[in-house]
Each structure stands twice: as C-alpha cells, then as structure tokens.
A and B are shown apart, each in its own frame.
Chain A
Amino acid sequence: MNFFFEVVAGGLLAGVMYALVALGFVLIYKASGVFNFAQGSMVFFAALTFVSLTERGWNLWLALAVTLVVMVLMGIAIERLVLRPLVNQPPITLLMATIGLAFVLEGISQLAWGSQPHGLELGVPDVPIEWLSQKWNISVSQFDVFAALVAGVLVAALAVFFQKTRIGRALRAVADDHQAALAVGIPLQHIWSIVWAVAGFVALVAGLMWGVRNGVQYALTFTALKALPVLILGGFESIAGAIVGGLIIGASEKLAEVYVGPFVGGGIESWFAYVIALLFLLVRPEGLFGEKIIDRV
C-alpha cells in the first residue's frame, strides 16, 4: 500500500511539472487563440540560458533576472515577427508557424549555448523528505514538493493577475473576442506582447523545475508534446484545467507504467498519455473545463 501511495505521489508531482508547461500554452491560447507549439522550445531555451550563465559563474539571482529579460524580449519579438503578420490566418496556419518557430528556437538555443546536457541546481536537494520516509516509509522528494509549491504560487499569482488587475481583465476580453476588445479600445498588440512575455516567464519557471528533475538537454523540448494531453483533458483555456489535467495525466501515466508496464515490456510512458487524451476526446471534446461549442450555420 505504501508503494502505491509513493507511485501516486510521484505521479501527481510529475503531473505538476506537466501542468507548469501546460500553463504557458493556456495563457497564449486564451489570449490569442494560437496553440504555441514552440512552448517546449521556450522552456528549453530559458533553462539553457539560465544554466549556461550560472555555469559561467554568474550569481543565481542575476542569471535569473537576465534570463527573464531575455524571455520577455523574445516573447515580444515573436509576437511582432511571427504572429502579427499572420493575424487573420486560419488556426492550422498559425499552428504550423509555431512548429517552424520551435525549430528556430531549438537551433538558436544550441547554436548559442552548445548541445551538451547540463545539470541544474537550485539549492533544494532531490532527496526524500526525512520525516515522511521515517514515519510512514514513503519516499517523496523534497524537490518535488518544492516544485509543487512553486507551481501553486505561480497559479495563485496568475489567478490574481487575471481576475483583479486591469491588464488581466483586458487579457480576458481579448481572449473572448478580438474585434470586440478592439472596439472598446483595448490595444490588441500590446496585450499580445504582454501575454507572450508572461508565457516566457512561465516557460522559465517550468524550465528551471524540469531542468533540475531531468537535466537541461534537448529532450526537454518533448515535454511540450506531453502538455497536449494535459490540455485536452483540462481544456485549452482553463488554468485550473491545466493543473487538474496535469495531475491526472501524471498520476495515471506513472500508475500505468508501474502496474501495467511489466506485462507489455515497459515503455508505456511514451504513448499512454496521448491515448488517454484520444479516448477522452472521443467522449468529451471540449475537455473537463472547456465550453461546448455549438456550430450555427
């Protein structure tokens, strides 16, 4: 029984990681209706920039600040160079443009900082929590809990930002109807720049957490793809959905790998999340938290 809890806990915490990446997607999709295939590359770029700076001896906080500025600038540049020219195109075009963008970012990251994997340290060690393992014989990593706390703070901050501030309100208006937002004087392009900058910040946080967990290497970009099943479960436009979806995907994936995996040779994690998402789509295409779309002709 303890082992089961351990697996579930591990899965939930892995799910938090997925949710962090999914958050970036939700932000951009909510505000501009674009699915940003390049979010994974942004996560990778952020982590790589940060780790390369700290390895060169930079102070942790300074590196963080500089990386943040770079991510924000990158977000603004993307909005101006890629999104603005494509503003009225159908969603499939924008999706393909972000695929192209992903390749560009991956190339730039590795061109600038090289392609060897890096380890990442943030000061919180990846060791089991003492009293949990002693009292209940459950092994849960300190770092995982730290990541969960960070995610919680981030989500709370974003929630406050969206609900209580003027800019947050404007973002929600833009997400709902671009034309109407324009009509009431909301500066659409400033808003999009802000959104991409915030998404860049979220990518940085996700990149740091993932970097400690798995090391900063090219495979990080594939975490973006794992966020897709999370978004399908949680709906593309809901922050709460991203969290819940992430937790469900993380837990079920781990459980499947541990309990079903041995019977089929292992490696289920490569496809299990997608198949779950697929089955879910057939039953409830708009996700747990999404809105049903009615097609009026």
Chain B
Amino acid sequence: MLYREAGQFKSSYAQDQQIFPIRQDRIAFAALMLFALAVVPVIGDQYWLSAILTPFLILSLATLGLNILTGYAGQLSLGTAAFMAVGAFMAYNAELRIPHMPSLGSFAIGGLCAAAVGIVFGLPSLRIKGLYLAVATLACQFFVLWAINRIGWFSNNSSSGVITAQRVEVLGYDLQTPAAKYVLTLCIVALMALAAKNLMRSETGRAFMAVRDMDVAAGVVGIPIMRTKLLAFGISSFYCGVAGALYAYCYLGTVEPEAFTLDLSFLVLFMMIIGGAGSILGSFLGAAFITLFPIFLNLASKQLETLLQVEIPHAIVSNVEAIIFGGLIIFFLIAEPLGLARLWQIAKEKLRLWPFPH
C-alpha cells in the first residue's frame, strides 16, 4: 500500500538506471544516511559506537572487497585477512616515515600496497581456477603474515611485532573520540560503497560477472580476461587494505599480526555467503549479522544463566557460536544461495503487493 510504484514511470534510460529506481527507496535511504550521520554520533553510547557500529562498518568494507573478487568476479579468495594486514601495516609505515602525511593519505597508501600484493598473488588466477586458486590465496595469507612478523621494518622493529596506531587527523581536526572515529569510518565506507556500486553496474562489473560465469565466452565477446581478473584482485585488495587500515586506526588502536589470521578470512567469507555473494547490500547485511549475532548469543546465555541458575562458561558460548555459524552457512547454501540480500529482495517484492497476497 505504501510501497507502490504506481505513477513512477521511467521516461529515459537514465532514470531506469538509477541505483534506487523507486522513490520510496530513495527517501528511506536518505533518511537512513541522515540518521546514521547526524543522529547516531550524538545519541550513541561509547560501547555501541566503538565496539559494534565501527567494526560493523569496517568489516562491511572488507566483505565488500571480498564480494568484488569472489561474489562478482568468481575468484575464490581465502587471503582477505592478509590484505587487511598489509593495509594496516603499510598505513602505519606511511604515516611514520613520510613527513606531513595526512591520515587519509596513509589509508590510501595502505590500500594501494594491498592492491599491489593482491595483483601479485592474483597472477596465478590466469592459469588456475576454483579450489586451486584458493590454495594460491592461502599461500598469500600464510606468507604475508609470516613476512610481516619476521621482517622488522613493518613494525618499526618492535620486539613483539605490535604496532600502535598514531592519532587520526583529518583537515586539521584531531579525531580521538569514538563518535569522531565512527563518523570518519562511516564517510569512508559510504563513499567506497558508492564507488563499488558504480563499478559493479558499469562495464567493469559486467566484465567481472562474465569472467565468473563463463570466461571462454567472455574472451569471445572481447573482454580482456587477464586484465579483468587482475583488476578484480587489485580493486578487491584495495578495499580490504583500506578496511585493514581503518581496523587499526579506528577500532583496535594497537595491532599485532595475529589479528589478521586465517580465521578472520573465514569470518569475512561467512559474511559474504550469509549476506549474499554478488550483492553490495549483502555485504552490509552479512557483516551486520555476524557482528550482532555473538552479542545476541551472549545476551541469551546471560538470560539462560539467570533462568537456570547455572554458570555457562564462555567456551561453551563460543563453541555454540561456531556451530550456529557453520550451520547457517550450510543452511543458506542449501535454501537461499543468494543470502540475506535475496531474502530482502523477496521481502520488498511482497511489500509492493501488501496487503494483497499476489
């Protein structure tokens, strides 16, 4: 009833191609962005801003990166965490060693270095596919982590390999509070998500999907397969690199290489699968789900504790979490391989007809 498209005709291809073709969607999105940008930093409490919303945004960005490579371009990657690590440590070094380097600049350098690493480890994709490519990315994951650990230069020769992120400064403003870091993260992620959406609905995105669906046919149509695959690795790693830099500067503060293990790569992969491979919105939905679910589980177990008068050790909760995550992956792959994003689409379609059933 409210969600009708009646009266909204498209009289040009330009109108047909908008990101939000339906007016109600545009209004809702604008409202959401306004709320997130102007209201949340003011009313949000410290815990929510620094421990939930900011990491949610950062992980969404990482998932976006993985989605570009695996969801859109079909190149399976298990090295997401390694690219994030490169972004974090190179941003640190850029800020440290280049005088007068602005924070945003070091984030960008982190991203570019990650892109370079991504392209190098993406070279095998020109000859190998699928599972074999996953092994190549595993090699990347383990090698990069070892290199960052062993080569003192990365952590400025700190004995434990731990680095402490410097202050974040944008346009002269010192961003110390959780609210400030949240707003910075939100702006960066929003802009990069817009860029990703633009990329994926343009010829670049079509080339990625063509290579994913049938690369022989893509070549026949004139798409440069090699360049397309390397571009996918490069762009994806750039996104993961920036996410890694934000992870260090706006979330963790002190960073050790162990923050970027294979488990993190799997976590981001889960976010992509649950949220929906090949969907920008899906990256956010999946990250939201996986960020919020452990909190929900913790709350539930606390309730259970008071209800049953027993103490539930943390180990049990985290194991149940692992079981449910794994189970959900399997469930989604069976029931709705396109994840939460597809479920969202279906819900919207039903909403258009509401209150009528069909």
Contacts and interface: CB of A to CB of B under 8 A. Distances in A.
Interface in A84-139: 85-86, 89, 91-93, 95-97, 99-108, 110-111, 114-115
Interface of A: 35, 81-82, 85-86, 89, 91-93, 95-97, 99-108, 110-111, 114-115, 225, 228-229, 232, 264-268, 270-271, 274-275, 277-278, 281-282, 285, 295, 297
A111 B315 CA distance: 8
A107 B319 contact: yes
Given A96-B273, A99-B269, A228 B76 contact: no
Given A264-B150, A281-B127, A103 B323 contact: yes
A104 B127 contact: no
Interface string B298-316: 0000000000000000011
B135 A107 contact: no
B136 interface: yes
19 contacts: A91-B131, A93-B333, A95-B130, A100-B270, A100-B326, A102-B326, A106-B319, A106-B322, A107-B319, A110-B319, A114-B315, A228-B135, A267-B146, A267-B150, A271-B143, A277-B135, A278-B135, A281-B127, A285-B128
B58 interface: no
Contacts of A107: 319-323, 326
B165 to A, nearest CB: 25
Nearest to A81: B330
State the majority secondary structure of interface residues on B.
Answer: helix
B316 A111 contact: yes
Contacts of B269: 96, 99
A247 to B, nearest CB: 19
Interface residues of B, number: 41
B132 interface: yes
B175 interface: no
A49 B149 CA distance: 35
Given A97-B333, A107-B320, A228-B135, A285 B326 contact: no
Contacts of B273: 96, 100
Q: Pick the 7 closest A-B CB pairs, nearest first.
A: A100-B329, A103-B326, A107-B322, A274-B139, A104-B326, A107-B323, A271-B142
B253 interface: no
Given A85-B334, A267-B150, A99 B329 contact: yes
